[in-house]
Amino acid sequence: MLVRISGFIFVLTLLSGCATLSYYSHIMNGHLDLMSGQQPINEIISNKDTSQALQEKLKRVLEIRKFAVTELGLPDNDSYTHFVKLDRPYPVWNVVAAEKFSVEPKKWCFLIVGCISYRGYFNEQQANEKAEELKAAGYDVYVSGAAAYSTLGWFDDPVLSSMLYNEEAHLAGIIFHELAHQLIYIDDDSAFNEAFATALELEGVRRWLQKQGDAESIKRYRTYKNRQADFNQLLRSTQTKLKTLYAEKYDQKTMSDKKQGIIKSMHVDYQQLKQKWQGYKGYDRWMSKEINNARLALVATYYDLVPAFERMLQKQNFVLESFYQEVRKIGELEKKIRNNQLHAALRREL
* DSSP-assigned states of every residue in 197-253: HHHHHHHHHHHHHHHHT-HHHHHHHHHHHHHHHHHHHHHHHHHHHHHHHHTS---HH
- DSSP count for the chain of H helices, then E strands: 13, 10
Q: Which domain holds residue 172?
A: 6-188
Within a domain: residue 162? yes
Mean pLDDT to the nearest integer, 183-204: 91
Split into its structural domains, the chain has a count of 1
Within a domain: residue 159? yes
pLDDT tens, 77-89?
A: 999 999 999 999 9
How does residue 27 score in pLDDT terms, banded at 50, 70 and 90?
Answer: confident
Within a domain: residue 81? yes
pLDDT at 137 > cutoff 70: yes
pLDDT at 252: 94
Q: Is the distance from CB of 162 to CB of 86 less than 8 angstroms?
A: yes
pLDDT at 6: 46
Mean pLDDT to the nearest integer, 238-251: 95
pLDDT at 298 > cutoff 80: no
- Residue 186 belongs to what H/E stretch? none
CA distance 243 to 293: 10
pLDDT at 114: 67
Within a domain: residue 122? yes
Highest mean pLDDT among 151-155, 200-204, 302-306, 344-348: 200-204
Within a domain: residue 288? no
Within a domain: residue 243? no
Mean pLDDT, all residues of the chain: 88
Within a domain: residue 138? yes
Within a domain: residue 330? no
